[in-house]
Amino acid sequence: MTAPTTRTLEVPNAVLTYDIRSNADSAEPPLMLIGSPMGASGFQTLSSLFPDRTVVTYDPRGVERSRRTDRASETQVEEHADDLHRVIAALGRGPVDLFASSGGAVNALALVERHPEDVRTLVAHEPPACTVLPDRVAALAAVHDIHDTYLRRGRGPAMAKFIALVMVQGEVPADWTSQPAPDPAMFHLPTEDDGARDDPLLGQNMMSCNSYELDVERLRAASTRIVLAAGEESAGTLAHRGAVVVAERLGTSPVIFPSGHGGFIGDEYGPGQAGKPQAFAARLREVLARAAAPTTVAR
């Protein structure tokens, strides 16, 4: 694997930045690693654990190096899906294998709905698919409350509510929005409003990602092999439950991966945020190999 080569791509209303770590000797398709709102910087450790593959990472529009050229305050899932389609086309080596985590998993599922020919195998890791949950009304109300808090009071109070939501075990309580708001200081978050409203998580993607309606029939009909993945340490949380329910809708079972929602992260964000990247990469390698193996027919 070579050192990463950085490229840019002009797309409608944005300029995307992506990195290619090339392995010219690999016979496998490129392995694309994505998140949302996490950008390429969150996949440095996982990328390094696949030296035998050509690995592609990118910054979603409005995140890190990828800039929006319009003034839209939100990014739609359909825009992310189209961006991924255009990056894969620019690679000229499709279809790719695609590992997508969190909001990136929602975007990747939307990509497969529209362009299944782009992806050989999709591993969708813990999509926060609120719309498929039995408690969708309460979950979506909580998401809306977090976004509204961000618009009214800024990042600290909204992020405190977001952390509280992702820590909920089981269904989101129907009265979640009327419960006392957590103190941002408890999570070492700012209590003062800096006036900014362009946060990729709380502003740009919060509502559109969590409220996206998956087209299960199109996913079922897709040529892409779709594997839902869930963390062994995040059972009961919203994103883990999303993976379980989407898998059930597709007639499969989720594959359990080591660690939790950020299990693939190394030291990118400090030791307190690290998962189990080596074990995570080993499981991902197993899943990709199993999914790519020829199907045998019993006679």
Domain residue limits, the chain? 5-129+213-292, 136-206
- Rounded CA separation 102/163 (Å): 14
The H-or-E segment that residue 221 falls in is: helix 216-221
Residue 111's closest CA among 76, 86, 88, 84? 84
Beta bridge partners of 174: none
- Rounded CA separation 228/89 (Å): 24
pLDDT of residue 220: 97
pLDDT of residue 99: 98
263 burial type by CB count under 10 A (0-12 exposed, 13-18 middle, 19+ buried): buried
Strands (E), the chain: 5-11, 14-21, 31-34, 55-59, 67-68, 96-101, 119-125, 225-231, 255-257
pLDDT of residue 52: 96
pLDDT of residue 290: 85
| Residue numbers in the chain where pLDDT is lower than 70 | 1, 291-299
40-54 pLDDT, tens digit per residue, is: 999 999 999 999 999
197-215 pLDDT, tens digit per residue, is: 999 999 999 999 999 999 9
Q: How far is CA 150 from CA 14, 74, 174, 182, in A?
A: 24, 13, 21, 14
**Which CATH number fits the domain 5-129+213-292, given the four candidates 3.30.70.980, 3.40.50.1860, 3.40.50.150, 3.40.50.1820?**
3.40.50.1820
Q: How far is CA 86 from CA 90, 174, 218, in A?
A: 6, 40, 20
